[in-house]
Structure 1
Amino acid sequence: LRKQKLCELEKMWGMISLAFFGLRVTSGSCDVPPAVSNSNVHLADRFITKTSFFSGQKVYYNCDVGYVAAGGRKSRLCINGKWTPLKLKCERKLCGSAGDIQSGQFVYTGVEFGDTATAVCDEGFMLVGRATRHCMNNGWSGRNPVCEAAVCEDPPEVSNAEITGLQHEPYTYKSVIRYSCRAGTLVGEREIWCTKHGTWSAPAPECKGHILTEQIVVFIVATIYIQCNMGYVMSGPGTVYCERDGRWLPELPKCQRRPNTITSSDSTHKTSLLLSEIGVSIVCFLFLCVCGFIAQHNRNQTHSQYSISPLNV
């Protein structure tokens, strides 16, 4: 009799247990919690592989990488097949300042996770290293770059010229040097300077327009008299001088058509030079070039002769 009662009690308990646990698994269970949009949170790792949750069971959430909790509970509860709302709020981590750069600064898109800081050097300095740093989960990426002063190479030497304004190395940004010819005419920039890119602002000039013999350097000083063609009237001085630097002084005159004057159709040149009146008081040993004129030596004649051809006068 006693055994019979025990068997009946065990059977009853089994039925009660089956009914109780069956209710929890079926009618009150919850599926996988739905994702929470625009929240930057995710389900904790230990719950990811589960597909069913009984009523009364809690699940926990964590903030995404680069975000930190900013209030609200981290858990949700399954109640009769439904999940309670998630209250957890996450916001981007702060990285703060990326640091200081001597002779430069950072330009920020922000100082939170995902933002960038880009280094910009002051004028005359060049960036060495990576310009951009990123705000990561553990702070700013990489290390700060360096701003170094722009330095130019030694200024180019020019034959027959002197350099002034020369400084000791290094030749940094805005260092200026000036060229002057010992003989001849300077062709090119008289003054060049070191740019912010570490290069000179222009190529070195040249010294031209002089005659070199074995022992003699000869400079040309010429006077010319200008006469307009028939039918034209001169506006300006009729006499000009060629200076050592290759300039005509004063400026060349202009020939303007005389009113009510008919000229021949082949009078294409408005200005002509009276070559017989050119006064060049110098002996030419080899060849010479004077202020836009080319002097050519005729070696086939008994006496040395020179013809002077105007260049677009």
Structure 2
Amino acid sequence: MEVLLNACGQQRVKRLLLLYLFVLKATADCPRPQGMGNMVLSDKTLLMNEFPEGITVTLECVNGYLADTGSGIITCIDGKWTELDLTCKKKDCGLPTPQPNMSFNTSDGTLFGVVITVVCDKGYQISGSSFKQCYARGWLGRAKCEIVTCDEPSEVTNGRSSWDSQDVPKYGEIIRYTCNEGYTLIGKDSIMCSETGEYDSSPPECKGLLTPLPLTTMPMTTDRITTKIVTPSTTPAQEASTLTAHGEKSTTTGTAPTVLPSVQDKDNLAIDTTKYIGDTPVGLTVTVLTVLLAVIIGIFLYKFLLKRKGSYDTREDLKPELLQFQNL
């Protein structure tokens, strides 16, 4: 009987001892540490399942941040973790790698996560992304500044341009124009490819100029022959001048008539191509002389037709003038 009591008591004591050891061990382990803010557990710590008394673990800065101060190591003591001394700061990507004809707007800084704008020089345009962003590995975003180009210059009628390349003109290049012989250039003789991809002005034009007809004049003589063309409607009161031996012009009443050169006689067509208004000679062109001859011929044809119709012209209107010739 006593032996059975002793056996039961020993088993009870063993159970109590195991329970005490379990409770003691449970109270000594630390809970799994957690990341905070811009810090996370290291890869080694993430593989651990138990954190007994005295064990140490490491925390690290998250991607894009760098350790500023502290080691990031904590220790399990009496079921609690020691205070974390690690501080992290954002990574600074610095200025992007310089590229030809490119600059960057870094007014927002160059720290992790910031976005900067790509700026090309005058006459260049962005090819690719127009911005870059700072990541943990550095700047991401490909950009390139390419020179601005214009369309091929337009051809000019009756002229030519100086552009003979197979490529299109680039920013700042100048195209010059010249006209063919006999044509005059109207407008600017050159155009330039601007930063907008357009030319700074329109191409010029090549226009031909009319060549004036040469004036044909007869040599001037010392004698002047002044004639008066009399038409059927002319009356003696309208006569303004008479013939003189050496071209001296007589004066009559009324306004000064316009003296026109005419035919001296039918057989001898001696035409002086100089007429006089006052004392000033004025050259007549070939066209004017042709018109005058046509008028004279028309007058003769008119009289000839009157005779053919049987009309009888008493020429009473010419008697005063004929009397003047008889008195001479």
TM-score normalized by structure 1? 0.50
Higher helix share: 2
Q: Which structure has more RCO (C-alpha within 8 Å, separation ≥ 6)?
A: 1
